[in-house]
């Protein structure tokens, strides 16, 4: 939550009287999302949440979510310019993924804003696949952070 | 009785010339097949990364510019097998509409898609991220 801004805090308090509290989505949660992979058509893929925060977006309180796509398509994984991370075998079941080899794509991101707490969104129930371990979730977050900051 | 011999034997202990000639052509075929496979894979890999979703099956002697000298029909056969394997492998990078069937999605009318390096300033500010 943003801090040190009296006007924003007052607005938050006013809004919280009207609607229930919003909560960020825990890092590592896996939901289905649509991803375009650079094309014009979007396809459903699992997405792992790496960042989530509640804040004001264009004057409205929202839950912001950043997620990365997971794909079956073989990805180049080199130490020099890492753009994908293999999903470890032991993570798949908890994440709700099938047994095929899959990659988290550091280059394919969705940023979505929700006006309601995600638990109250209808599509969240049917699209939730599972959750990665804290260790793997942090590994992905750090890899994404490195990827974003390099070049 | 006169024998018509293509390659005259080198001596009394030499093996029959026809068998030797076939062995030589076989190894040439195998080498040609491997070279063609490697070159074709590299060629296709470049094409695939450039074209993303569009993979066209390449006709060896038209597009790839690889000249293959063959002496026997077995060479052509081994190359066709290699093409089949590579074309099958290339299908891995096609769009995955069929790969996650019936996957429900979390949808919002306020979304952004792209490379993390291209995140809009507004989004960076929302999440407290540096540029």
Transcribe B11-66 into DSSP letters.
STTPPPHHHHHHHHHHHHHHHHHHHHHHHHHHHHHHHHHHHTT--PPPPHHHHS--
- Which chain A residues are closer than 8 Å to B104 by Cβ? 32, 44, 123, 126-127
Q: From chain A, pick out residues whose CB is under 8 angstroms from the CB of B92.
A: 72-74
Contact between B105 and A151 using a beta-carbon 8 Å cutoff = no
Which member of A33, A107, A144 has the closest CB to residue B106? A33
Q: What is the DSSP string of B117-131?
A: GG--HHHHHHTT---
Tell me: pLDDT of B36 over 80. no
Alpha carbon separation from B72 to B32, B69, B79, B82 (Å, rounded): 12, 9, 12, 17
Cβ of A72 within 8 Å of Cβ of B112? The answer is no
In this structure, the dihedral spanned by the alpha carbons of residues B18, B23, B29 and B35, taken in order and rounded to 10 degrees, is -150
Among the listed residues B18, B32, B19, the one whose alpha carbon sits nearest the alpha carbon of residue B70 = B32
Q: How far apart are CA A60 and CA A64, in angstroms?
A: 11
pLDDT at B131: 82
Each residue's pLDDT expressed in tens, for chain A with a length of 151 residues: 555 567 766 666 665 556 678 999 999 999 999 999 999 999 999 999 999 999 999 999 999 999 999 999 988 877 777 899 999 999 999 999 999 999 999 999 999 999 999 888 888 889 999 999 999 999 999 999 999 998 7
Cβ–Cβ below 8 Å for A44 and B113: no
Range picked from A3-7, A134-138, B41-45, B66-70 for highest mean pLDDT? A134-138
A91 in Cβ contact with B89 (< 8 Å):
no
> What is the distance between the alpha carbons of residues A34 and A76, in angstroms, rounded to a whole number?
22
B104/A32 Cβ within 8 A: yes
Burial of B117 (0-12, 13-18, 19+ CB in 10 A): middle
* Higher-scoring residue by pLDDT: B129, B83: B129
Cα(B59)–Cα(B11) distance, integer angstroms: 46
Q: How many CB atoms lie within 10 A of CB A95?
A: 23
pLDDT at B109: 92
Q: Which residues of A touch B116 (CB under 8 A)?
A: 106-107, 109, 144, 147-148
Residues of A in contact with B88 (CB under 8 A): none
Inter-chain CB proximity B100 and A123 less than 8 Å = no
Looking at the DSSP assignment, which residues form a beta bridge with residue A33? A45
A43–B96 C-beta distance less than 8 A: yes
Does A27 lie at the interface with B, CB-CB under 8 angstroms? no
User: Cα separation of A30 and A127, whole Å?
Assistant: 9
Q: What six digits make up the tokens of A64?
A: 């912001």
What's the angle, vertex CA B66, arms to CA B61 and CA B69, rounded to 5? 85
Closest residue by Cα to residue B114 from A83, A150, A64, A37: A37
């Amino acid at each position: 939550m943003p801090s040190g801004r009296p006007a924003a805090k007052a607005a938050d308090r006013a809004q919280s009287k009207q609607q229930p509290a919003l909560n960020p989505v825990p890092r590592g949660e896996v939901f289905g999302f649509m991803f375009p992979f650079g094309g014009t058509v979007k396809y459903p893929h699992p997405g792992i949440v790496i960042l989530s925060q509640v804040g004001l977006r264009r004057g409205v309180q929202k839950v912001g979510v950043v997620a990365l796509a997971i794909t079956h398509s073989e990805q180049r994984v080199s130490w020099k310019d890492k753009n994908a991370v293999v999903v470890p075998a032991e993570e798949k079941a908890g994440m709700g993924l099938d047994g095929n080899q899959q990659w988290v794509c550091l280059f394919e991101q969705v940023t979505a804003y929700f006006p309601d707490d995600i638990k109250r969104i209808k599509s969240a129930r049917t699209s939730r696949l599972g959750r990665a371990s804290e260790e793997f979730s942090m590994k992905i977050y750090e890899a994404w952070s490195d990827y974003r900051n390099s070049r | 009785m006169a024998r018509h011999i293509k390659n005259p034997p080198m001596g009394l202990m030499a093996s029959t010339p026809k068998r030797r000639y076939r062995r030589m052509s076989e190894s040439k075929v195998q080498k040609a097949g491997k070279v063609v496979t490697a070159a074709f894979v590299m060629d296709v890999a470049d094409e695939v990364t450039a074209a993303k979703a569009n993979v066209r099956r390449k006709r060896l002697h038209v597009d790839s510019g690889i000249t293959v000298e063959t002496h026997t029909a077995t060479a052509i056969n081994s190359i066709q097998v290699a093409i089949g394997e590579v074309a099958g492998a290339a299908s891995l990078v096609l769009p995955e509409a069929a790969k996650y069937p019936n996957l429900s999605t979390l949808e919002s009318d306020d979304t952004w898609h792209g490379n993390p390096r291209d995140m809009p300033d507004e989004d960076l500010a929302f999440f407290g991220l540096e540029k």
